[in-house]
């Protein structure tokens, strides 16, 4: 069989809605470098088939609970040290103040973020938590989540490698949780690679935590970082890893594709930004491998051309905040929601606000949380417009 015939047969399988193998996906991805337009059209058609013309987002407030971390990633500026001005250790009064403001601005998501188990590295954190009445970061997150529900906010926690028991406790108050796979490659843990000083980024550990979440039936957000030094095979393998997890447990509600942007005070400050065309190819490949899944890119990381990604298969913009910064990428501002809606309308899409749990996955959450969501949702389980505009 000729190379051209082989590619033609693979594309026919995709058009027919049949699954392709990892090797076939790699071949399609490789060929897309020289022939991207057809590749992009296929991804767009698949998105239209499975997701229609609705593009969603979550109106959120970013609760930067504790940005100390036991890990050191080569590209991260979120992590602070005790003597840095960007240090955030949000006490109860600060939580309440931001919660009140979030309610005023009609946010529905409370994104709770911490570094990886900071109490294991910083004794100051252990003392701080003890003064607040808690023995661990996860215990404090449970309390914060309970508090935020009282303000009409729905918690979504992203706190690194939590244990199964900790996740079970958080499930009582969180409608969803997040843990980025980042990449399935162990090579990225080697010396000189971005995850060398970040043991929590071991893909084996992350995959096990995602499996734990599946067993607990927690709607999970995961995804990959693009442009941090991975190769094509590692991209494909990472996407298939997510696919396998979802096929096994059915709880991966969202796949984030995040493009790398260098930051000045990091080891990777001279590493180039993710090339736009490469990133678009990864997004399209994700749609082809994961046809039915929710796929998003953060629009603030592609501020000039984020609407271009509507043409390569995404159906979600992730969390957008009208009041708080993206503390993980503080140099990139969120787009205005009005602008986001205009861009979607111009291209024939309808922008809808969702909860931090996607409509299809609301059935997984605790009945008391589901009852709270139903008071604000429309007949498709999106946020009713009057509650977010």
User: DSSP assignment of 234-274, as one string?
Assistant: HHHHHHHHHHHHHHHHS-EEEEEEEE----TTSTTTTSPPP
User: Does the pLDDT value for residue 2 go beyond 60?
Assistant: no
15 in a structural domain: no
What average pLDDT score do residues 86-115 get? 96
User: Does the pLDDT value for residue 7 go beyond 80?
Assistant: no
Distance CA 131, CA 126 (A): 9
Please, which pLDDT band fits residue 35 given cuts at 50, 70 and 90?
confident
21 in a structural domain: no
- Which pLDDT score, from 0 to 100, does residue 50 have? 94
What pLDDT digit, counting tens, does each position of 78-92 carry?
888 888 989 899 999
User: Does the pLDDT value for residue 154 go beyond 90?
Assistant: yes
- Kindly state the tokens that stand for 315: 């159906």
Place of tokens 């529900």: 149
* Number of independent structural domains in the chain: 1
**Are the CB atoms for 221 and 253 separated by under 8 Å?**
yes
- Among 75, 2, 91, 40, smallest CA distance to 276 is for 40
User: Does the pLDDT value for residue 14 go beyond 90?
Assistant: no
- Among 109, 106, 65, smallest CA distance to 88 is for 65
Residue-averaged pLDDT of the chain: 92
CATH of the domain at 258: 3.20.20.70
What average pLDDT score do residues 291-312 get? 91
Which residues are CB-contacts of 318 (< 8 A; sequence separation ≥ 6)?
Answer: 57, 58, 254, 256, 296, 297, 298, 299
Please, which pLDDT band fits residue 18 given cuts at 50, 70 and 90?
confident
What pLDDT digit, counting tens, does each position of 333-381 carry?
999 999 999 999 999 999 999 999 999 999 999 999 999 999 999 999 9
User: DSSP assignment of 100-139, as one string?
Assistant: HHHHHTT--EEEEEE-S-GGGT-HHHHHHHHHHT-SSHHH
215 in a structural domain: yes
What average pLDDT score do residues 115-133 get? 93
- Which pLDDT score, from 0 to 100, does residue 350 have? 95
**Are the CB atoms for 141 and 149 separated by under 8 Å?**
no
Distance CA 16, CA 61 (A): 41
Q: Cα separations (Å) of 60 from 87, 235, 317?
A: 21, 29, 12
- Which pLDDT score, from 0 to 100, does residue 6 have? 58
Q: Which residue has the higher pLDDT, 332 or 102?
A: 102
pTM score, whole prediction: 0.94
28 in a structural domain: no
170 in a structural domain: yes
Q: Which domain holds residue 199?
A: 48-387
- Which pLDDT score, from 0 to 100, does residue 80 have? 87
What pLDDT digit, counting tens, does each position of 176-197 carry?
999 999 999 999 988 988 898 8
The Cα angle at residue 205 between residues 160 and 80, in degrees rounded to 5: 30
Of the listed ranges 243-247, 305-309, 381-385, the one predicted with least confidence: 305-309
Please state, for a pLDDT cut of 90, what percent of the chain lies above it.
75
């Amino acid at each position: 069989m000729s190379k051209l015939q082989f590619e033609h047969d693979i594309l026919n399988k995709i058009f027919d809605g049949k699954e392709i193998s990892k090797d076939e996906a790699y071949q399609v991805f490789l060929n897309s470098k020289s022939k991207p337009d057809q590749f992009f059209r296929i991804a767009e058609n698949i998105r239209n088939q499975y997701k229609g013309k609705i593009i969603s987002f979550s109106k959120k407030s970013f609760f930067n609970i504790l940005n100390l971390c036991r890990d050191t990633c080569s590209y991260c500026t979120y992590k602070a040290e005790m003597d840095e001005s960007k240090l955030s250790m949000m006490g109860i009064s600060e939580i309440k103040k931001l919660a009140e403001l979030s309610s005023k601005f009609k946010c529905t998501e409370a994104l709770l973020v911490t570094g990886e188990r900071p109490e294991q590295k910083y004794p100051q954190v252990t003392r701080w938590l003890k003064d607040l009445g808690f023995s661990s970061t996860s215990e404090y997150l449970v309390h914060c989540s309970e508090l935020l529900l009282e303000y009409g906010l729905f918690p979504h926690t992203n706190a690194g490698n939590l244990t199964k028991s900790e996740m079970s406790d958080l499930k009582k108050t969180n409608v969803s949780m997040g843990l980025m796979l980042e990449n399935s490659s162990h090579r990225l843990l080697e010396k000189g690679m971005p995850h060398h000083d970040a043991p929590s980024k071991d893909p084996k550990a992350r995959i096990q935590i995602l499996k734990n979440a599946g067993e607990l039936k927690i709607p999970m957000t995961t995804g990959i970082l693009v442009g941090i030094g991975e190769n094509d095979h590692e991209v494909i393998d990472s996407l298939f890893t997510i696919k396998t997890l979802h096929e096994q447990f059915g709880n991966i509600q969202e796949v984030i594709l995040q493009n790398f942007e260098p930051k000045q005070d990091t080891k990777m400050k001279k590493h180039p930004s993710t090339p736009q065309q490469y990133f678009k190819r990864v997004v399209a490949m994700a749609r082809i491998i994961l046809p039915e899944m929710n796929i998003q890119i953060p629009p603030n990381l592609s501020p000039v051309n984020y609407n271009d990604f509507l043409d390569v298969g995404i159906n979600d913009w992730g969390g957008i905040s009208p009041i708080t910064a993206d503390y993980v990428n503080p140099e990139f501002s969120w787009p205005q929601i009005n602008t986001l809606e205009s861009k979607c309308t111009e291209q024939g899409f309808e922008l809808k606000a969702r909860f931090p749990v996607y409509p299809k996955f609301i059935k997984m959450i605790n009945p008391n949380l589901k009852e709270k969501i139903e008071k604000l949702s429309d007949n498709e389980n999106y946020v009713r417009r009057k509650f977010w505009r």
